[in-house]
Structure 1
Amino acid sequence: MDHSAHSDPAASTQMDHSAQDMDHAEHMAAMNDDVAGAEAVLTSYRDALTSRDAEAMAALFAEESFVYENGKAEGSFTHYMEHHLGPELDAITSFTFGEPTLAVTRMGHMAYGRETYTYRIELADGRVIDREGVATSVLAHDADGWKIVQYHSSSRAPRNN
């Protein structure tokens, strides 16, 4: 029996994958740009904290966000700003970060960040707070760019190592 009329065309035809042949360097550059955008959001958050700019901070968070600080679920960033961070900002005269490290890993339309830092807060009543801190964050990318969807930070008094 002759089966030539029913042969598998894929078996005898070379497939064209040229549309999928993105240059590896171009692909890595695109990935790095995406990571750089997520890094920029986290750096901008730190900068907005030091300048005590509530509006700039809020713009970096997704509407459906979650904040955790030192073992407490603070709710959305809006709730956190209204009930925790906002009132604290009014009492701060100086907020500085030292020794920040930041690493971001991209996973599709999501990225996660890991940070370490020290910070110093000077309050209007003269008190000074020195701390060592860490943070992890989850960011999502959409048509508007990167937004923080979850942020978890904790800190402790500096320890002599």
Structure 2
Amino acid sequence: MGLLSSVNITFFRVGFLAFLAFACLKDVNIILSNASFLMFTKAMNLPALVMPSYSAQLGLFAVVFSLMALQDFIPLLERNTTYFESIVSLRLFFFFAITAYGYCVSGNLFLHNNAVVIYGACEIWINFLIFTALRDEKNERFKVANRVVLEDEPEVLEPLTEQEGAELDARAEELGSSSDEE
């Protein structure tokens, strides 16, 4: 199992969401005033979101991020790959649509801000990594399940004599003619 397995990347996503929930409860400005975050804001020409440290909405965001982390953590403990194979592509599409809409439509300031676009880009990146890892693991499982086991040494076949070849041809003709009669 490689470093970028679907399990490891999903654990990273759970940790990422848990950190966001903690930051919402502790002080959201540790994220919003981060130098890298502000650099992306300027580079993408987005308005910067300014929030007080003790806003009432931050508690709700902390609960939402915690539930999203828990939503991935429980199936991860059960090794439920079917769940992840079905939900990750839907999640990837949803975050791509929201992020593209938030970035392109500058009139809607609810979605056109640095927090929504950068969070959406992080989710797209993480879910794309999970998606590709799941696809590779599914291909590996298919190869293992459908491989043909060969003997150690292939069987050496002796060439047929003319008489044996003629006998096989006669049998094939008999079988062909009997199946035509039915």
Question: What is the TM-score of this pair, normalised by structure 2?
Answer: 0.26
Q: Tell which structure's C-alpha radius of gyration is larger.
A: 2
Q: Which has the higher helix share?
A: 2
Question: What is the TM-score of this pair, normalised by structure 1?
Answer: 0.28
Q: Which has the higher strand share?
A: 1
